[in-house]
């Protein structure tokens, strides 16, 4: 007993670039939300006193933390530019150039994260 072809779920759309761009936008939003508690911890340390904040800032000088910060810049860039792409689609409407825009957004995010990484090291 097999399921008729017209009622089967297809996942072919998941290989398209724009679906992947939408997925990356959602995942970057989740990752940024997971980062917020660490950011609030740093702000709390600033309130507690200068010595606590200085020790936290000294910890952030480690190369692994700088690499993570560059990942954060990538997530922020891809999420911001992906959101602007969605706003453009909702306001102006669909244009065939959307795949190129999505690829350019990804390239811009990688480039900005790399520039940030080079500047912090």
What average pLDDT does range 76-102 have in this prediction? Answer: 88
Q: Which CATH class is domain 15-120?
A: mainly alpha
Encode 79-106 in three state secondary structure. Answer: HHHHHHHHHHHHHHCCCCCHHHHHHHHH
Domain residue ranges of the chain, discontinuous segments joined by +:
15-120
pLDDT in tens, 21-46: 899 999 999 999 999 998 898 889 88
71 neighbors 117 (Cβ within 8 angstroms): no
pLDDT in tens, 56-82: 999 999 999 999 999 999 999 999 999
65 neighbors 92 (Cβ within 8 angstroms): no
pLDDT in tens, 97-115: 888 988 999 999 999 999 9
pTM > 0.95: yes or no: no
């Amino acid at each position: 007993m097999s399921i008729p072809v017209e009622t089967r779920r297809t996942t072919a759309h998941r290989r398209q670039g724009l679906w992947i761009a939408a997925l990356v936008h959602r995942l970057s939003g989740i990752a940024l939300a997971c980062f917020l508690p660490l950011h609030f911890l740093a702000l709390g340390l600033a309130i507690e006193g200068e010595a606590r904040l200085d020790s936290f800032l000294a910890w952030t000088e480690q190369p692994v933390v700088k690499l993570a910060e560059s990942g954060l810049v990538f997530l922020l860039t891809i999420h911001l530019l992906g959101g602007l792409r969605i706003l453009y689609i909702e306001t102006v409407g669909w244009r065939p150039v959307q795949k190129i825009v999505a690829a350019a957004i990804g390239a811009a995010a990688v480039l900005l994260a790399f520039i940030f990484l080079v500047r912090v090291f």
